Amino acid sequence: MQKLFSEFNKTLVISRQEKAAIGFLKNVILNPENGKAVGISFKTPDRDNMTLVASTSAIVGTGLNFIMIDKIDSVGSPDEIIRVKEILDKGIELIDSKVIDEDGRNMGRVNNYSINLKTLRLRRLYVLSSSLIKIIAKEIIIPEEDIIKIEKNKITVRSGKIKAGKKIPALAEEP
């Protein structure tokens, strides 16, 4: 069961103990060293659209349209949950990160990614091709096993692992 980053804002965060929706998923906070989630961030519509975080240990269930945490007491501000704060302080955002292969060739930029909701792991990167690679594909799909390193603004992937994705309608024809 996978969820695209572009669909996160449609995912409810609910509290089991309070039996209520407490916000909408904003991001899954991934450890760049292993692609595994350390927590989630979400917006709370009833608290002036405040961003709160919960560590993965607080997550007790997932579905296509929801993530369930145990109780509201297990969430806090981004500065309150230490492991999550350490990752957030690195400033790594997957969206719009440059993707290069291990030989240094520019592959393009990340425009989406998917998370396995059961394991809370990064599954795939969806990369808008660089101008040199657009001859092969408009979008490149990179599976997790081909991701070598995730850094701030740059992701390194294995060479020779291009898998063409669907053409993106808005970008299918260039002027």
Question: Do 6 and 20 touch, CB atoms closer than 8 A?
Answer: no
30 pLDDT band (50/70/90 cuts)? very high
**What is residue 36's predicted lDDT score, i.e. its pLDDT?**
94
Q: Is the pTM for the entire model greater than 0.85? A: no
Q: Examine the fold and report which residue of 61, 89, 117 is the final residue of a domain before the chain moves on.
A: 89
| Calpha distance 23→15 (Å, rounded) | 10
Residues 125-141: b if buried by 16+ CB within 10 A, e if exposed: bbbbbbeebeeebbbbb
Tell whether 75 and 103 lie within a shared domain.
Answer: no
**What is residue 47's predicted lDDT score, i.e. its pLDDT?**
61
Q: Does position 165 have pLDDT exceeding 60, yes or no?
A: no
Tell whether 25 and 63 lie within a shared domain.
Answer: yes
Q: Does position 63 have pLDDT exceeding 90, yes or no?
A: no
Tell whether 16 and 75 lie within a shared domain.
Answer: yes
Residue 107 lies in a domain: yes
Please state which of the ranges 52-56, 96-100, 138-142, 143-147 shows the lowest mean pLDDT.
138-142
The tokens describing 145, both together, are: 């096993």
Tell whether 114 and 69 lie within a shared domain.
Answer: no
Q: Per-residue pLDDT averaged across 35-55, rounded?
A: 86
Tell whether 79 and 108 lie within a shared domain.
Answer: no
Tell whether 83 and 102 lie within a shared domain.
Answer: no
Tell whether 73 and 32 lie within a shared domain.
Answer: yes
Residue 169, phi then psi, degrees to nearest 5: -50, -45
**What is residue 174's predicted lDDT score, i.e. its pLDDT?**
35
Please report, rounded to a whole number, the percentage of residues in the chain having pLDDT higher than 70.
87
Tell whether 84 and 9 lie within a shared domain.
Answer: yes
Q: Per-residue pLDDT averaged across 145-167, rounded?
A: 81
Domain that holds residue 103: 98-165
Q: Examine the fold and report which residue of 29, 60, 89 is the final residue of a domain before the chain moves on.
A: 89
Residue 81 lies in a domain: yes
Q: Does position 59 have pLDDT exceeding 90, yes or no?
A: yes
Q: Examine the fold and report which residue of 89, 124, 147 is the final residue of a domain before the chain moves on.
A: 89
| Amino acid type, 71 | K
| Calpha distance 159→2 (Å, rounded) | 25
Q: Does position 163 have pLDDT exceeding 80, yes or no?
A: no
Residue 175 lies in a domain: no
Q: Does position 171 have pLDDT exceeding 50, yes or no?
A: no
Tell whether 47 and 111 lie within a shared domain.
Answer: no
Report the CATH number at residue 137: 2.30.30.240
Over residues 17-29, the pLDDT tens digits come to 999 999 999 999 9
